[in-house]
Amino acid sequence: MIEHPRADELIEAVAGWVESIRPQLNPRDAFLSRVAVNALNAVKRELSQGPAAEVAARSRLSALLGMEADLGTLNAELCERLRRGEMDVATPGLLAALKAGIEDQIAIDQPTYVSVGRR
């Protein structure tokens, strides 16, 4: 694996350059340049946080479903059981598992997102 520069350093360099040219851009491109920087930052977070999140998701879903498999298979099985109505909001551990998984995902996609709280 090439480490000089690391992938995150390349991402930072490109994001920094896009930021630097934004003042010269027309409004449409300035908007898209913001989206582009957001995309680069999501990739950077996924590189650092994604592997641990996947390991955690796999063990969580294994426990919930009572089976061992790769993450894709476990996720598909969970969807299938929900479609068939075999699991619902009252299923012990379901909401907690879903919440833990989506918290890891939002930390990658949009770490500043403020979700709805309890009323």
Partner 1 sequence: MEVDIPAALAGLAPKLGGTGVEKAQRLTGGASMETWAFNLLGAGEPRPLILRRRAVPLDPETSRSASMAAEAALIEAAGHAGAPVAPLVRLCEPEDGLGEGHITGFVAGETLGRKIVSDPRFDVVRPHLARQCGQILARIHTVPTGAANLTTADAQGELDRYEAIYRTSGAERPILELALQHLRRNLSPPMPNVVLHGDFRNGNLMFDPDRGVAAVLDWELAHVGDPAEDLGWLCVNSWRFGRADRPVGGFGDYQDLLEGYMEAGGAEVPLSRVLFWQALGSLKWGIMCLMMYSSYATGATNSVERPMIGRRVSETEIDLVNLLEAGL
With CB under 8 A as the rule, give the number of residues binding partner 1: 39
**Least distance (Å) from partner 1 to the CB of residue 113?**
5
DSSP 114: -
Residues 58-97: x/- map of binding to partner 1 (CB under 8 A)?
-----------------xx-xx--xx-x-xxx----xx--
CA atoms within 13 A on the CB side of 115: 9
Tell me if 117 contacts partner 1 by CB under 8 A: yes
Task: Pull the structure tokens for residue 23.
Answer: 């003042």
Q: Do residues 104 and 53 lie in contact, with contact meaning Cβ atoms separated by under 8 Å? A: yes
The owner of tokens 């520069």 is: 5
Can you tell me the distance from the alpha carbon of 40 to that of 43, in angstroms, rounded to the nearest whole number? 5
Can you tell me the distance from the alpha carbon of 5 to that of 43, in angstroms, rounded to the nearest whole number? 16
Return the residue of 12, 31, 49, 92 that touches partner 1, per CB under 8 A.
31
Please identify, using beta-carbon distances, which residue of 3 and 113 lies nearer to partner 1: 113
Tell me if 48 contacts partner 1 by CB under 8 A: no
Please identify, using beta-carbon distances, which residue of 11 and 78 lies nearer to partner 1: 78
Q: Do residues 60 and 104 lie in contact, with contact meaning Cβ atoms separated by under 8 Å? A: no
Task: Pull the structure tokens for residue 6.
Answer: 């690391």
Binding site for partner 1 (CB under 8 A): 26-28, 30-32, 35-36, 38-39, 42, 75-76, 78-79, 82-83, 85, 87-89, 94-95, 98-99, 102-103, 105-106, 109-110, 112-119
